[in-house]
Amino acid sequence: MRDVAIIGVKNTNFGEMWDRSFRDIVVEAGVGAIEDSGISGEKLDGMYVGNMSGGQFVEQEHIGALIADYSGLSLDLHIPSTRVEAACASGGLAFRQAVMAVASGHEDLVMAAGVEKMTDVSSTAASAALAAAADREWEGIMGATFPGLYAMIAKMHMHQYGTTSEQLAAVAVKNHKNGSMNPIAQYKNLITVDNVLNSIMVADPLHIFDCSPITDGASALVLAPADIAHEYTDTPIYVKATAQASDTIALHDRRDIATLDASVAAGKRAYEMAKMTPADIDLVEVHDCFTIAEICAIEDLGFVKKGLGGKMTEDGETAIGGKIPVNTSGGLKACGHPVGATGIKQLVEVTQQLRGDSGPRQVDGAEVGMTHNVGGSGATAVVNILARKR
For residue 299, give Cα distances in angstroms to 131, 180, 303, 305: 26, 26, 6, 6
Closest among 329, 333, 353, 332 to 341, alpha carbons compared: 332
C-alpha to C-alpha distances, 230 to 224, 237, 238, 270, 326, nearest whole angstrom: 10, 10, 11, 25, 29
Q: Is 337 a catalytic residue?
A: yes
How do strand 81-84 and strand 46-50 relate by DSSP bridges? parallel
Task: Give one word for 76, left, alpha or beta, with left for phi > 0 and alpha for psi -120 to 50.
Answer: left
C-alpha radius of gyration, the chain, whole number: 19
The yes-or-no answer on residue 88 being catalytic is: yes
Residue type, 210: D
Who's near 142: CB < 8 A, 6+ residues apart? none
Cα 354 to Cα 346: distance, rounded to the nearest angstrom: 12
Q: Which of 62, 88, 207, 287 is catalytic?
A: 88
> Can you spell out the DSSP letters for 287-337?
--SBHHHHHHHHHHTTSS-TT-HHHHHHTTTTSTTSSS-B-TT-HHHHT--
* Residue 113 CA, distance from chain mean position: 12
Contact 90, 230 (CB under 8 A): no
Q: Which of 157, 176, 287, 337 is catalytic?
A: 337
Angle 128-130-136 from CA coordinates, rounded to 5°: 70
- The DSSP string of 28-71 is HHHHHHHHHHT--GGG--EEEEE-S-HHHHSS---HHHHHHHHT
Q: What are phi and psi of 107, to 5 degrees?
A: -140, 155
| Separation CA 192–CA 180 (nearest Å) | 13
Q: Which active-site residues does the annotation give?
A: 88, 337
